[in-house]
Copies of this chain bind each other. A is one copy, B any other.
């Protein structure tokens, strides 16, 4: 029997920090038929709140550290302010959203990142085996749309700040066992560009073979490499496709038009 389709969509700061962008995106997200999950980062609001509270950003060797005060802020902003306002807007649009951290329903457990050269503080690396697809399927099949923020827990009472991209891909891999899963990363560009200066040079699709070619031609380099490597890792673990594109073009997906760059096995 064919599996049901599931879309997992990740949005970041460029959507969350602009209420107009966010509203527009949430309308398109609501209009998307079928099962879906939203994953969001936090954007600038957490940084602003930290500044208002006089909490200095902690950086060690250029890396951001989540100390206990920052974790508090992140829990308030990602888990409270941003998550619940997204949920309220989705409800307005007729979508039965349910706002979650990885602690809720024990859906995503993580381990506090071990201290090697840098102590990242309360940052969690996801334990991928902790994600129980059946448990999430119970929510999806009951008609709820899970909305995850970038917070997990360690199962021992500790919340952990966790990368939203990683949450999205871990969910996609786990749920690919039950659903025909498409993972969509919204970012500031229309897709993977052949010419970084030209927004209209979006590469429509990439498979493992063309990916190797594009790397050899140095069309894809630096910042995009880890993104695409992670995408193909997810695909190798059962995710049907990964799409990278701009949030304001999500509406195209529903209309069957081209949207972003589609990565898939073939």
Chain A positions near chain B (C-beta within 8 angstroms): 49, 52-53, 72, 75-81, 83-85, 87-89, 91-92, 96-101, 103-106, 138-139, 142, 144, 151, 153, 155-159
A157 touches B91 (CB 8 A): yes
Give the distance in Å from the alpha carbon of A9 to the alpha carbon of B205 in the complex. Answer: 53
Q: A75-B85, A79-B81 are in contact. List 10 more A-B contacts (CB 8 A).
A: A72-B81, A75-B80, A75-B84, A87-B103, A87-B104, A91-B106, A91-B155, A92-B157, A96-B105, A139-B142
Give chain B nearest CB distance to A78 CB in angstroms: 7
Report chain B residues within 8 Å CB of A96: 105-106
Give the distance in Å from the alpha carbon of A76 to the alpha carbon of B99 in the complex. Answer: 13
Give the distance in Å from the alpha carbon of A156 to the alpha carbon of B79 in the complex. Answer: 21
A79 touches B75 (CB 8 A): no
B85 touches A159 (CB 8 A): yes
Q: A53-B52, A81-B80, A98-B105 are in contact. Are A89 and B157 (CB under 8 A)?
A: yes
Give the distance in Å from the alpha carbon of A87 to the alpha carbon of B103 in the complex. Answer: 6
B88 touches A157 (CB 8 A): yes
Report chain B residues within 8 Å CB of A104: 84, 87, 97-99
Give chain B nearest CB distance to A186 CB in angstroms: 21
Give the distance in Å from the alpha carbon of A80 to the alpha carbon of B144 in the complex. Answer: 20
Give chain B nearest CB distance to A242 CB in angstroms: 28
Give chain B nearest CB distance to A148 CB in angstroms: 12
